Amino acid sequence: MGRYLIRRLLQFIPVFFGATFLIFVMVWAIPGDPIRALAGDRFLPEQVRQELRDRYHLDDPLPVQYGKYMGGVFQGDFGDDFRGRPVTDLLAQRLPITVRLALLAFGFEVVLGIVAGILAGVRRGGFMDNLVLVSTLVVIAIPIFVLGFLAQLVMGVKFGWFPVSGVQRGLYSYLLPAMVLGSVSLAYIARLTRTSLIENLRADYVRTATAKGLSRRRVVGIHTFRNSMIPVVTFLAIDLGSLMGGAIITETIFNIPGLGRAVFEGVQRQEGTVVVGIVTFLVVVYMVANLLVDVLYAVLDPRIRYE
């Protein structure tokens, strides 16, 4: 197990550099002059412009820029945005908002998704099964921005149950965006749980559990459930990673100042440091989440051993 962990951590290195370099290249490949865009219609003296270009190393060749940037990252310096604010400050300010949103969405999709999947799977072809299959299909088929605006319109404007946008009302204002954000994954989780449960209910060990004189509840809830969760957990972890990556669309629709919107604004302003800084951070979060899942896997399924 120890050796496995070390190997996995070593694998982080190429993934980390590869991913950050690609993002770096892509941001710098965006056409246009970011400094000119920053100034807008106002006049910018050539001297100031050159000062800014020097400050952000914009005239260096790409590999040099990348090298300088990475050198900073390893000293905890993710660079500054064009307003001179350190990206780390931006991260510290935006991250809690995204984490709050992501965890709410995650809790929502995990609890409802698994419950719906089990209710559907235990009675295959029954009412609940059909209900879950049809409703999840609808959710998967509708683009998230349609779903977002629809939720905003119906639940926010028409019925007034939830704040329409912003985060002024604390945790409560995160509920509706979290539901929208988690809805598609909820549908996948429900379907995955259902399929996995149905498959496992056919297994020999389920017949043994029944022959032991256990109640149906125990046969499904203890014996089959644990086995059925193995594929679901994989999905959950990857999904948690992407939820942390911020929900660009959802955060924009609901006007939530999280990481997703920060990335979006960064791309618009061609603020390389902001985009690369945040994405670099997210790459690390994603990799750690993935590692945790693989370790959790062995806890769920004792047949898996890491050497």
Partner 1 sequence: MATTLSRDAVAGRPVDPAAPLLAVEDLRVEFRIDAGTVRAVNGLSYTLGRGETVAILGESGSGKSVGAQAVMGIIDSPPGFVTGGSVRFRGVELLDLPEAERRRVRGNRMAMIFQDALTALNPVFPVGWQIAEMFRIHRGLPRKAAGEKAIELMERVKIPSARVRAGSYPHEFSGGMRQRVMIAMALSLDPEILIADEPTTALDVTVQAQIMSLLAELQQQTGMGLILITHDLGVVAEVADQVVVMYAGREVEKGPSLPVYHRPAHPYTLGLMDSLPRRDVHTERLRPIKGSPPDLLAIPPGCAFRPRCPYGREICAREEPPLAAVTSDRISACHFWEEVSRERAGA
H or E segment and range at residue 18 = helix 2-28
The only residue of 95, 179, 209, 243 in contact with partner 1, by rule CB under 8 A: 209
The only residue of 131, 212, 268, 292 in contact with partner 1, by rule CB under 8 A: 212
Stretch that binds partner 1, among 141-149, 168-176, 215-223, 259-267 (CB under 8 A): 215-223
Asked if residue 147 lies in contact with residue 139, where contact means CB atoms within 8 angstroms, the answer is yes
Q: CB 297 → partner 1: shortest distance, Å? A: 11
The only residue of 214, 248, 284, 296 in contact with partner 1, by rule CB under 8 A: 214
Give the number of other CB atoms < 10 A from CB of residue 127: 10
Residue among 42 and 305 whose Cβ is closer to partner 1? 305
State the helix-helix crossing angle for 2-28 and 62-73, rounded to 10 degrees: 130
Closest CA to 69 of 279, 272, 282: 272
Q: What amino acid occupies position 60?
A: D
End-to-end CA distance of the chain: 6
> What is the total residue count of the chain?
307
Residue among 25 and 304 whose Cβ is closer to partner 1? 304
Q: CB 298 → partner 1: shortest distance, Å? A: 11
Q: How far is CA 161 from each of CA 157, 167, 174, rounded to the nearest angstrom? A: 8, 15, 12
Q: How far is CA 122 from each of CA 70, 115, 191, 212, 222, rounded to the nearest angstrom? A: 52, 11, 13, 19, 13
Q: Measure the CA–CA gap between 145 and 249, rounded to whole angstroms.
A: 7
Q: For the window 189-208, what string marks contact with partner 1 as x by the rule CB under 8 A?
A: --------------xxx-xx
The only residue of 210, 234, 252, 255 in contact with partner 1, by rule CB under 8 A: 210
Residue among 85 and 212 whose Cβ is closer to partner 1? 212
Q: Would you state the torsion angle of the CA atoms of residues 278, 284, 290, 292, taken in this order, to the nearest 10 degrees?
A: -120
Q: CB 193 → partner 1: shortest distance, Å? A: 16
Q: CB 224 → partner 1: shortest distance, Å? A: 9
Asked if residue 119 lies in contact with residue 220, where contact means CB atoms within 8 angstroms, the answer is no
The only residue of 10, 13, 29, 211 in contact with partner 1, by rule CB under 8 A: 211
* Contact call for residue 172 and partner 1 (CB under 8 A): no
The only residue of 40, 45, 76, 302 in contact with partner 1, by rule CB under 8 A: 302
Q: CB 113 → partner 1: shortest distance, Å? A: 21
Asked if residue 271 lies in contact with residue 24, where contact means CB atoms within 8 angstroms, the answer is no
Q: For the window 221-240, what string marks contact with partner 1 as x by the rule CB under 8 A?
A: --x--xx-------------
What are the residues binding partner 1 (CB under 8 A)?
203-205, 207-215, 218, 223, 226-227, 300-303
